[in-house]
Amino acid sequence: MAQGLWTVHNRDGQRRVVVTKELPGERWVRLLTAADCRVEVSDSRTILTPAAIEKAIGNECAAVIGQLTEAWQAPLLEKLRTAGGRVLSNYAVGFNNIDIAAATRLGLPVGYTPGVLTETTSELTVALTFAAARRIAEGDTFVRSGRFADCGWLPMLLLGKLLWRRTLGIVGAGRIGATYARMMVEGHKMDLVYHDLYPNEALEASVHDYGAFLEAHGEPGVTCRRAETLDELLAAADVVSIHTVLDESTHHLFGARQFAAMKPHAIFVNSSRGPLHDEKALVEHCRTHPDFYAALDVFEDEPRTEPGLADLPNVVMVPHLGSATGWTRRSMAVLAARNAVAMLDGAPVWNRPDVLVFLEDDAPAAAPGIVNADDLGLPYYQDATEERS
């Protein structure tokens, strides 16, 4: 039922939940209304300001399902807590938009949606990589503009880069970085070099075993090694894809010096977080190095882009589509709703690897992911079930 710029579900629900954007699917709404929640969903297609969110929270609000695009700093978190808020459930796997320390001081759990974005985001990263390597966006524009009809097939038209048997560099070998790496290694026989604070022994073993499989079938193997320094990786890689977390230590991890250290014909891919790269420096480097390509799903000052970026033919851009498949976005909505319901019901926090169980009808009575569970001393599912047994 529409009410101004808000749609209200289960008007008589006893626990008021504010959702700052319409989410895909219907199951997440059913989960909340079944938990006696009155669900108020913003119909706005623009990013809500902190003032608008404060107004929406009002004097009584049990929970908010918010977005990665919103800045949840201490004053807004305090407003939610003062209104009786017991959880902020972020509709994202990342949470750098939230002052977690402030939320913890206020005793406010912060939910996130892990475990359902890995393959989806990895596939998008593969798509971006090849869109840059094979100049897909340029080719699309060339055909749509009528220029292909004018000239037809030409031997020198839009020559791209062959990635087969080249070297892939991964910065941050976590879940998404490692999955993307395996897609590229197994699909395109690329050697892998990665840079991470910690060795990823499972990834190394997987590439080693795949290399042995290739050799057993008469093909050259593939290799994997961990670079001790970022510069070592940049010097070796034909494709550099960044998958590390965003914090003070990684802000502008890629700037003018790092771009200059890469191969002149390299491809830089960022499907992680925009502020990991200095966009002004990237624009300048791409402008002065036409054989260097960048493929971006995220931007430093999203949704705005650095002036000049959109004018560069050697930059491929999409609007933060990493998780944009129907299954993934619907699954994220379910996890966000389950985080809210679990915290409102006083349920424990899940501490097992299989998060997909929360997509089932008989899901455990637990929160799929709470960022600050340890700092808040929240009980974990395994411990809670063991105590009852």
> Are 277 and 297 members of one domain?
yes
> Are 176 and 199 members of one domain?
yes
57 vs 304: CA distance, rounded Å: 27
Judged by phi (left if over 0) then psi (alpha if -120 to 50, else beta), residue 158 lies in: left
Q: How many domains does the chain have?
A: 2
CATH of the domain at 41: 3.40.50.720
Q: Which of 269, 289, 317 is the last residue of a domain?
A: 317
Write the DSSP symbol of residue 161. -
> Are 265 and 137 members of one domain?
yes
* Residue 233, domain extent: 118-317
Write the DSSP symbol of residue 328. H
> Are 205 and 68 members of one domain?
no
How large is the C-alpha radius of gyration of the chain?
23
What's the first-to-final CA gap in the chain, in angstroms?
A: 44
> Are 260 and 123 members of one domain?
yes
Q: How many CB atoms lie within 10 A of CB 212?
A: 12
124 vs 217: CA distance, rounded Å: 30
CA separation, residue 12 to residues 16, 22, 120, 122 (Å): 9, 20, 37, 42
pLDDT by residue for the chain (389 residues), tens only, comes to: 334 589 999 999 999 999 999 999 999 999 999 999 999 999 999 999 999 999 999 999 999 999 999 999 999 999 999 999 999 999 999 898 999 999 999 999 999 999 999 999 999 999 999 999 999 999 999 999 999 999 999 999 999 999 999 999 999 999 999 999 999 999 999 999 999 999 999 999 999 999 999 999 999 999 999 999 999 999 999 999 999 999 999 999 999 999 999 999 999 999 999 999 999 999 999 999 999 999 999 999 999 999 999 999 999 999 999 999 999 999 999 999 999 999 999 999 999 989 999 999 999 999 999 999 999 999 999 755 554 44
> Are 87 and 181 members of one domain?
no
118 vs 123: CA distance, rounded Å: 9
Which residues does the annotation mark as catalytic? 273, 302, 320
> Are 281 and 344 members of one domain?
no
| Residue 8 in tokens | 């209200």
Q: Which of 266, 299, 317 is the last residue of a domain?
A: 317
Query: 168: closest CA among 187, 194, 150?
Result: 194
For the chain, give the number of residues: 389
pTM assigned to the model: 0.92
| Residue 154 in tokens | 């030409």
Element of type H or E holding 382: helix 381-388
Cβ 295 vs Cβ 128: under 8 Å: yes
